[in-house]
């Protein structure tokens, strides 16, 4: 069990990690997310909520291997 966080910025992900929350308990949703921000969230192990399929294009296929689109 334990605690998780819902984040909307890279700073919130960093604070979550500093508080001892593991990446698998961090949810990341943001607006106008850059490729660098996605990369940081992925390296942290955070779950990412996509606002649109257009955000997938930003990643150049880096995350597509991890997703199952229904």
- Domain residue ranges in the chain: 5-66
Whether residue 26 contacts residue 5, with contact meaning beta carbons closer than 8 Å, is answered with: yes
Place of tokens 């399929």: 53
3-state secondary structure (DSSP) of residue 26: strand
Contacts 24+ apart (CB under 8 A), 27-32: none
| Residue 70 confidence (pLDDT) | 41
Residues of the chain predicted below pLDDT 70: 1, 60-70
- DSSP H/E element including 40: helix 35-44
Q: Nearest to residue 32, comparing CAs of 14, 11, 9?
A: 9
Cα gap 54→7, rounded to integer Å: 20
């Amino acid at each position: 069990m334990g605690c998780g966080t819902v984040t909307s910025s890279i700073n919130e992900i960093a604070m979550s990690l500093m508080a001892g929350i593991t990446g698998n308990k961090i949810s990341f949703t943001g607006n106008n997310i850059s490729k660098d921000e996605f990369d940081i969230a992925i390296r942290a192990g955070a779950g990412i909520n996509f606002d649109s399929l257009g955000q997938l294009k930003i990643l150049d296929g880096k995350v597509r291997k991890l997703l199952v689109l229904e």
